[in-house]
């Protein structure tokens, strides 16, 4: 299992491309049984970031599980990815075999902060 915040993962992949360790980083991500990508959609992606994300998803497609945590509804992901073709490719690999759990209500952080202020 590996946990990554999406923004940091994409930054690490850009650095890995620069220092020559990109293929090793991609291999490690593809071999992980469960990849957790948190904070998806906080920022729109550059074309390079979208391509890196596509590469990660493609390498993992039908090889392992990918858990994406986001406050952004899936219907808005095309806009965040930016390039329609890349967005279609990413979503095609993710959505068709996905289990979606949509949560409602206040965040756990907000609920916990209310409990701690009452004490």
- Per-residue pLDDT reduced to its tens digit, 75-110: 899 999 999 999 999 999 988 888 888 778 777 667
Confidence of residue 64 (pLDDT cuts 50, 70, 90): confident
- Name the residue range of residue 11's domain: 2-118
Question: How many Cβ atoms from other residues are within 10 Å of residue 7's Cβ?
Answer: 15
Q: pLDDT value at position 108?
A: 67
Answer yes or no: is pLDDT of 31 > 70: yes
Instruction: Evaluate the CA torsion angle 79, 76, 62, 29 in order and state its sign.
Output: positive
User: pTM for the full model?
Assistant: 0.82
Q: pLDDT value at position 117?
A: 62
Phi-psi region of 39 (alpha: psi -120 to 50; beta: other; left: phi over 0): left
Q: pLDDT value at position 106?
A: 75
- How many domains are there within the chain? 1
């Amino acid at each position: 299992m590996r946990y990554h915040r999406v923004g940091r993962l994409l930054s690490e992949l850009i650095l890995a491309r620069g220092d020559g360790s990109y293929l090793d980083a991609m291999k490690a991500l593809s071999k992980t049984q469960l990849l957790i990508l948190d904070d998806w959609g906080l920022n729109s992606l550059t074309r390079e970031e979208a391509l890196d994300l596509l590469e990660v998803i493609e390498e993992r497609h039908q090889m392992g599980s990918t858990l994406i945590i986001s406050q952004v509804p899936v219907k808005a992901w095309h806009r965040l990815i930016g390039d329609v073709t890349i967005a279609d490719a990413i979503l095609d690999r993710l959505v068709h075999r996905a289990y979606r759990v949509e949560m409602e209500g206040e965040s756990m952080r907000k609920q916990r902060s209310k409990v701690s202020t009452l004490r």
